[in-house]
C-alpha cells in the first residue's frame, strides 16, 4: 500500500471515530413534546417511570401535563381496611412532591368522612403553551392553564385563562374574538363553593371578545366585571343562572355599547 493511500486510510479512520463519538448533542431533546409523548406511549409503564427520572424535562412532560392521564393511582383496601393505615397513606400522598391533582377513595365501610378531608396544595400546574395555536377547546376534569397569546377562539373553563403567577398579570388576549365558557367542577371543594377569585382576573383578558357564551353560572360580581371589561361584545349568551344583587345592577349592560344580541 502506498504511503498516500495509508495516509488517506488513517484520515478516514479518524473521521469515522469522530462521527462515532458524535458532537455530544442529545438529539432526542430536540424532538417536540408531541413526538416524545408518542415515544412514551410505546413504553411499558415501568419503563415510563424510569424515563421520568432521566431529566427534569421528561419528568414535567410525564407528570405535569395532560400525559399524566395515563397514570392511575389505585388503592383497594377492601372492607376490612385499617383506618389508621389508610389515613396515613392519604396524608403521605398529600405531602408527595408529585402533586397529585385528585385522589378518590372508593371502598371500605368508613362512616367518618372527616377523617379523609385533606387540603391539597399541588405545586404542579399543567400548562399548555403555544404561540401558534389559534383555536382551543378544553374538555377535561382537572384544571389546566393555557399560555397561548394568539388565541382567536376558546371553548372551556375560564380558569384556564387565569394568570400563572399571581404577581405577574397576563396581558389581554387581543386576538380572541369568540369564547364559550363552561362550568369547572373542582372536586377538591364543595359543589357550592365558586372559584370567583380565579375567574375575575381572567375575565379582564377578554377585552376584545365579540361573541361570548356563558354555559356556567354568572355571579353579580362576574357580571359587573364583564360589563366593565368586555365592551366590544356584540353577542352575549347566558345559558344558565345570572345572579344580580339588585335590578339596578342590570344598568351595567349600558356599558356594552356594541351589544346587539342578548
For residues 217 and 241, the answer to whether their CB atoms sit within 8 Å is yes
- Top pLDDT among 249 and 83 is at 249
Count Cα atoms within 13 angstroms, Cβ side, for 6. 3
Helix %, strand %, coil % of the chain (to 5)? 40, 15, 50
Q: Is residue 133 a contact partner of residue 148, using CB atoms and an 8 Å limit?
A: yes
Q: What element of type H or E holds 51?
A: helix 45-51
- The pLDDT value recorded for residue 213 is 94
- Work out the angle at residue 223's Cα, subtended by the Cα atoms of residues 219 and 225, and round it to the nearest 5 degrees: 120
Helix (H) or strand (E) holding 86: helix 83-95
Question: In degrees, to the nearest 5, what angle opens at C-alpha 167 toward C-alphas 226 and 118?
Answer: 90
Report which DSSP code applies to 147.
Answer: E
Q: Where are the domains of the chain?
A: 3-69, 72-116, 127-255
Give the integer Cα–Cα distance in Å for 3 and 32.
49
| Pick from 233, 158, 219, 206: nearest CA to 253 | 233
Nearest Cα residue to 184 out of 207, 206, 165, 161 = 161
Q: Which residue has the higher pLDDT, 249 or 26?
A: 249
pLDDT digits (tens, 9 = 90+) for 5-21: 444 344 444 544 444 44
Q: Which range among 55-59, 68-72, 109-113, 123-127 has the greatest average pLDDT?
A: 55-59
Amino acid at each position: 500500500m502506498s504511503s498516500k493511500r495509508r495516509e488517506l486510510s488513517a484520515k478516514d479512520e479518524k473521521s469515522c471515530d469522530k462521527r462515532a463519538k458524535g458532537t455530544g448533542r442529545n438529539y432526542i431533546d430536540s424532538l417536540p413534546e408531541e413526538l416524545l409523548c408518542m415515544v412514551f406511549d410505546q413504553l411499558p409503564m415501568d419503563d415510563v417511570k424510569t424515563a421520568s427520572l432521566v431529566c427534569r424535562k421528561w419528568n414535567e412532560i410525564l407528570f405535569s401535563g395532560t400525559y399524566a392521564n395515563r397514570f392511575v393511582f389505585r388503592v383497594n383496601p377492601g372492607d376490612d381496611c385499617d383506618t389508621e393505615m389508610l389515613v396515613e397513606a392519604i396524608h403521605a400522598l398529600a405531602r408527595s412532591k408529585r402533586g397529585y391533582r385528585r385522589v378518590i377513595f372508593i371502598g371500605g365501610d368508613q362512616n367518618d368522612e372527616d377523617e379523609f378531608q385533606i387540603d391539597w396544595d399541588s405545586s404542579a400546574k399543567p400548562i399548555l403553551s403555544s404561540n401558534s395555536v389559534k383555536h382551543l377547546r378544553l374538555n377535561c376534569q382537572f384544571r389546566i392553564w393555557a399560555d397561548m397569546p394568539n388565541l382567536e377562539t376558546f371553548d372551556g373553563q375560564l380558569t384556564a385563562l387565569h394568570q400563572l403567577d399571581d404577581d405577574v398579570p397576563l396581558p389581554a388576549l387581543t386576538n380572541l374574538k369568540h369564547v364559550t365558557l363552561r362550568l369547572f367542577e373542582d372536586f377538591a371543594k364543595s359543589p357550592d363553593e365558586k372559584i370567583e377569585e380565579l375567574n375575575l382576573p381572567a375575565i379582564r383578558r377578554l377585552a376584545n371578545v365579540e361573541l361570548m357564551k356563558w354555559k356556567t353560572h354568572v355571579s353579580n360580581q362576574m357580571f359587573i366585571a364583564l360589563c366593565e371589561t368586555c365592551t366590544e361584545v356584540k353577542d352575549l349568551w347566558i345559558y344558565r343562572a345570572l345572579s344580580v344583587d339588585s335590578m339596578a345592577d342590570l344598568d351595567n349592560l349600558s356599558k356594552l355599547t356594541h351589544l346587539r344580541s342578548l
